[in-house]
Amino acid sequence: MSDILKNEKKYLLDIDLLSFVSHELKTPLSILKLNVEMLKKQIPPEKKRFIDIMDTEVEWMIQFISDTLDVQKIQNKIKLNLKWYKWNQWMQKIQNSLENTVNLYKGNLKLHFSDKETEVYMDPFYIKQVLLNLVLNAIEHSPKNTPVEISWEQTKNKKLKIQVIDQGPGITPDSDNKIFEPFYKEREKTNHLIKGSGLGLTIAKKIIQAHGESISAFNRPKNKGATFAFTLNTK
Ligand SMILES: Nc1ncnc2c1ncn2[C@@H]1O[C@H](COP(=O)(O)OP(=O)(O)OP(=O)(O)O)[C@@H](O)[C@H]1O
Ligand SMILES: [Mg+2]
């Protein structure tokens, strides 16, 4: 086990709290917006005004969050709550929520469960955010109906390597590191509910770094598509 894990101190996620909260609110809000749009088409005219109010308010919140992201003023820290978790078991638990999100974008998610159970040291709340950000990117930056895969394997140096693989256009090799910088966008999303702000990968990187680990991106040599890989410590 690495030194960083030997002492029991709690790790800090070094990120602008305001940016983090704003960004993570965008996903549920976009889902809300989509459902409001669907209800609008089905509701009888006399009840339409209730939906119109909801629509206006959701729209306002989305606008407010986008503006807030532009005005980053508050510097804050978030504490991680790290414990040991059985990875396969935990993935089974969050599988539905990942799939529901992907289905909203009419995407197709494949999870490759490994035969061997591995215990990882993580904060499940934040690792779920990382997976959601990566899976959403994979869908939002790829053509419609292309599959997204999540797979994992144990490495020789006692880590679990988790990969999110898509069949989209891939990333520009020069900007491999730049895409992790705040507000950096290489392309507009092709398949999206809300415009991107360029923070998803910055947040993912900060969360993985706060776990004492790293995240990287590369294109698969032969096939099309990007792969995002990160590691977690195992027992
Ligand atoms: N799977 C992917 N395939 C191709 N390009 C990607 C992929 N994931 C990220 N990128 C590129 O990296 C950039 C940064 O990604 P990031 O998630 O930080 O921002 P975003 O998706 O544009 O917006 P946000 O996540 O804030 O809604 C994207 O704008 C895109 O150009
Ligand atoms: Mg993103």
Rounded to an integer, the average pLDDT of 89-96 is 94
Residue nearest to atom 13 of ligand 1 (CA): 185
Ligand 1 atom having least distance to the Cα of 138: 1
Tracing tokens 């005005």 back to the chain, one arrives at 71
Per-residue pLDDT at 75: 38
Q: Is the CB of 107 under 6 A from ligand 1?
A: no
Residue pLDDT, tens place only, 129-164 = 899 999 999 998 888 888 999 999 999 999 999 999
Q: Which element (helix H / strand E) includes 131?
A: helix 124-140
Q: Ligand 1, residues 18, 141, 199: which to mutate, most atoms within 8 A of Cβ?
A: 141
pLDDT band at 90, cuts 50/70/90?
A: very high
Residue pLDDT, tens place only, 110-128 = 999 988 999 999 999 889 9
Cβ atoms 118, 85 nearer than 8 A: no
pTM, rounded to two decimals: 0.77
Backbone angles phi, psi at 175, to 5 degrees: -100, 20
Q: Is the CB of 19 under 6 A from ligand 1?
A: no
Round to whole Å and give the CA distance between 167 and 190: 13
Tracing tokens 């702000």 back to the chain, one arrives at 197
Residue pLDDT, tens place only, 171-180 = 987 766 899 9
Task: Report the percent of the chain where pLDDT is more than 70.
Answer: 84
Paired strand residues for 234:
120
- Give distance in angstroms: CA of 228 to centre of ligand 1: 11
pLDDT tops 70 at residue 91? yes
Q: What is the mean pLDDT of the chain?
A: 84
Residue pLDDT, tens place only, 193-232 = 666 778 889 889 988 998 999 999 999 877 689 999 999 9
pLDDT tops 90 at residue 21? no
